[in-house]
């Protein structure tokens, strides 16, 4: 068994590796808008629950699910249903 899902949350930054399998840009610096409450912030500042299955990223404002990441043998699947939109970071946002 892996870590139980009720564990204390991590930061969205902790999901960089998982999301990086699905996107070609630094996802944790991408802006995400919560479809439920409208909060707009970088993915790194959302709350993340990581388990052996993948990760659930929740809005830090209203706790709605923004992203679900599932690792499967045929690839990494990202559901973005809770996000109104996701904007890739501009080159200036990159620290390195």
Ligand X SMILES: Cc1cc2nc3c(=O)[nH]c(=O)nc-3n(C[C@H](O)[C@H](O)[C@H](O)COP(=O)(O)OP(=O)(O)OC[C@H]3O[C@@H](n4cnc5c(N)ncnc54)[C@H](O)[C@@H]3O)c2cc1C
Residues that bind ligand X (CB under 6 A): 3, 7, 10, 14
Residue window 61-80: x/- pattern of binding to another protein, with contact defined by CB under 8 A? ---------------x----
7 contacts another protein (rule: CB under 8 A)? yes
The dihedrals phi and psi of 60, each to the nearest 5 degrees, come to -80, -10
List the beta bridge partners of residue 49: 56
Of 32-40, 42-50, 62-70, 79-87, the segment contacting another protein by CB under 8 A is: 42-50
Q: How far is CA 64 from CA 1, 26, 32, 58, 79, in A?
A: 26, 22, 13, 5, 13
């Amino acid at each position: 068994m892996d870590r139980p899902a009720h564990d204390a949350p991590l930061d969205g930054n902790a999901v960089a590796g998982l999301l990086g399998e699905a996107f070609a840009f630094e996802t944790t610096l991408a802006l995400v808008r919560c479809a439920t409450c409208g909060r707009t912030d970088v993915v790194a500042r959302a709350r993340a629950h990581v388990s052996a299955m993948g990760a659930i990223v929740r809005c830090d404002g209203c706790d709605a699910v923004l992203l679900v990441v599932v690792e499967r043998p045929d690839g990494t699947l990202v559901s973005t249903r809770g996000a109104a939109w996701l904007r890739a970071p501009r080159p200036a946002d990159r620290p390195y």
